[in-house]
Structure 1
């Protein structure tokens, strides 16, 4: 990892912490809305990254398994809930998509060792499901009567951040093992992964500062 990537990786970590801090400061305003769970998500994400960053100094644990079996699934399931159950008001869709995603862990148990950096099958399916929800959200926003006030729509910033980070890095993690053999392409895409992560958490922060209850 080059110096630039190390700097951006640190920036991504602290931008995640900044987003969690902003969400906590806004908690009192949204504590009676479902958006309070977005605060919990951001705090969870930052705490998880903190464990990933410093946890091995205090306890011995399998970092890859921690992310693949716990952190990443929780984050995917949260977004499925936010989009399907809340933004689209289709709780049944949330349960169906979550069930399909969780089923992908069964074949993964036969193909991936516990210490694999990323379970490509699970992540690919998770992102594809999320991509469908993202497209549905864009369609909803475009056809909304409040389209001219998109800057006040909290989901606009969240959807844009998810698009840049999760959807934008889908090929990187899907073909991670292959890309490692092509260092130049790998380094470019890894840099994008880090930069898009920073942008996503900045957009999440902005969603609290400028956004309002999704209509």
Structure 2
């Protein structure tokens, strides 16, 4: 099994741990996070099964991932919007919530398009990653000025933010490179990097679920 194939087990493990510790964040802004994790895991296992059933046939699945990653970005923008308390920061994230779906719509309709044979939407993936990193930066700036910085190890949102930040910091250079060097997507190095970044991100999520107390907002 390839490293890409192992990623779905990391996703499944994170989803299972999220269920195990659900009571800790059931009343917080992260209460729907478990559904996102399970959605990602189900999609990954379904796509893997489809490839297995149609072995030897090229299965185009970019359509699914183009939709899934766009939904993920919008979800996280909503979570951070409701988590942030600073009105100036909330307005910035609200702007992202408007601008990103508009950019996705333009990309789906006129640029990389949303069709069964369309390429991976690297343009809006990269844009979403940059906007999310800015959003996470605002989150870190805010908690540094609150009492939450004193118990950040028990703050679930902190661990999720660390995981997301490390993942997208590592992936953005390669997504930018894909626009100029498409063959990069099939390289063994990219497989190693994707697996490592996913391992780091989901390890952060799992650590957060285990260490966090019931106060998560």
TM-score category by the smaller chain?
A: 0.7 to 0.9
Shift of 1:58: 6.5
- Contact 2:129 / 2:172 at 8 angstroms: preserved in 1? yes
After superposition, residues 1-215 of structure 1 pair within 5 angstroms as 6=2, 8-56=3-51, 62-68=60-66, 70-88=67-85, 94-108=93-107, 109-113=109-113, 114=115, 115-181=117-183, 186-212=187-213, 213-215=215-217
Distance 1:202 1:129 in 2: 23
- Contact 1:85 / 1:93 at 8 angstroms: preserved in 2? no
Distance 2:168 2:193 in 1: 11
RMSD, matched Cα: 2.8
TM-score, length-scaled by structure 2: 0.82
Distance 1:197 1:32 in 2: 27
- Contact 1:30 / 1:36 at 8 angstroms: preserved in 2? yes
Distance 1:181 1:62 in 2: 17
Gaps spanning 5+ residues in structure 1: where? none
Shift of 1:174: 2.4
- Contact 1:123 / 1:174 at 8 angstroms: preserved in 2? no
Gaps spanning 5+ residues in structure 2: where? none
Distance 1:146 1:103 in 2: 34
Q: Deviations over 1:11-66 (max 9, x none)?
A: 32211100000111122443333322111111111112122222355799851111
Distance 1:182 1:126 in 2: 20
Shift of 1:86: 2.4
Distance 1:71 1:183 in 2: 19
Distance 1:173 1:183 in 2: 9
Q: Deviations over 1:127-158 (max 9, x none)?
A: 11101101111212322223232211112211
Relative distance call for 1:53 and 1:182 in structure 2 (3 A) is closer
TM-score, length-scaled by structure 1: 0.82
Distance 1:28 1:151 in 2: 18
Aligned length: 208
